[in-house]
Amino acid sequence: MNSRDLLLLLDEAAGAVQKALETFDRWGDGGERPDQYALDQVADSAVLEVLMPSGLSVLSEESGLVQGNTSELVIVDPVDGSTNASRRIPHYCTSLCVVDDKGPSVALVLNLAHGERFHAVRGEGAFLDSDAIQSTDCEQLDEAIIGVAGVPPPSLNPRQYRSFGAAALDLCSVAAGRVDAYIDPLAHHGVWDYAAGVLICQEAGAVVGELQGRDLIHSDHAARRGPVVAASPDLLAQLGVDPAIDR
């Protein structure tokens, strides 16, 4: 598939989740695992129904790795921000990213609560709906508003913190210039949480790293990473990541 066809496929998959949740009414019900909601399972079924006939491999938070017959892999979080969704906080999304032998190539993040759609194709820029987006030019930590996963690290002193609870959307907020950076100080994210957001950020001009210098993009369901994204190399360095390594 070319990039346009892949983007259409991701759109279809995200739309299927949106449709599946339109009449959903068991928002607080648990799923099969302690860390899962019923809404996650419903969303995962909707995504797989669209993606599996394509022949692409799929790595989903909810169902793991399903091997396809092509070299491309779709990394999926059917609902990122599930706890927000369970509490009816309108900050949760479907996040999808196609990865090839060069890394992330096509990404889409759809806010399921109100329909904002972020997407990027490698080398072609990043977009919110149909408008091109760009990260800020913030270079100083004491001037930065930073999105954070969990508790802010005491060693960092930005202008302000924000903790929204959906990594994919939080990364897209960096890409769109709503916040200046994002950090996961606990290094507790699965690749599905951030893969799409990483490409969207890179295409919007932001720089990307990992707290311990590890590669962010992988296919290990059990692995966890600490993504850090910043508007500028100087700001990334002040967040404790070597700006020379864009992962």
Domains of the chain as residue ranges with CATH? 3-132 (3.30.540.10), 141-238 (3.40.190.80)
pLDDT band at 245 (very low <50, low <70, confident <90, very high): low
Q: Tens digits of per-residue pLDDT, 15-30?
A: 999 999 999 999 888 8
Instruction: Single out the residue of 54, 91, 101, 59 nearest to residue 78, CA to CA.
Output: 59
Q: What is the pTM of this model?
A: 0.96
At CA 21, angle to CA 18 and CA 24, rounded to 5? 170
Which pLDDT score is estimated for 190? 98
Which pLDDT score is estimated for 212? 93
Give mean pLDDT, residues 83-112.
97
Give mean pLDDT, residues 87-97.
97
Name the least confident of 33-42, 131-140, 204-213: 33-42
pLDDT band at 246 (very low <50, low <70, confident <90, very high): low
pLDDT at residue 194 greater than cutoff 60? yes
Q: Burial-class residue 22 by CB neighbours within 10 Å (0-12, 13-18, 19+).
A: exposed
Tallying the residues shown for the chain, one arrives at 247
Query: Which residues have a Cβ under 8 Å from the Cβ of 62 and sit 6 or more positions away?
Result: 36, 40, 41, 43, 44, 78
Which pLDDT score is estimated for 28? 84
Instruction: Single out the residue of 4, 70, 7, 17 nearest to residue 46, CA to CA.
Output: 17
At 227, list the tokens: 């993504």
Q: Which residue has the higher pLDDT, 245 or 10?
A: 10
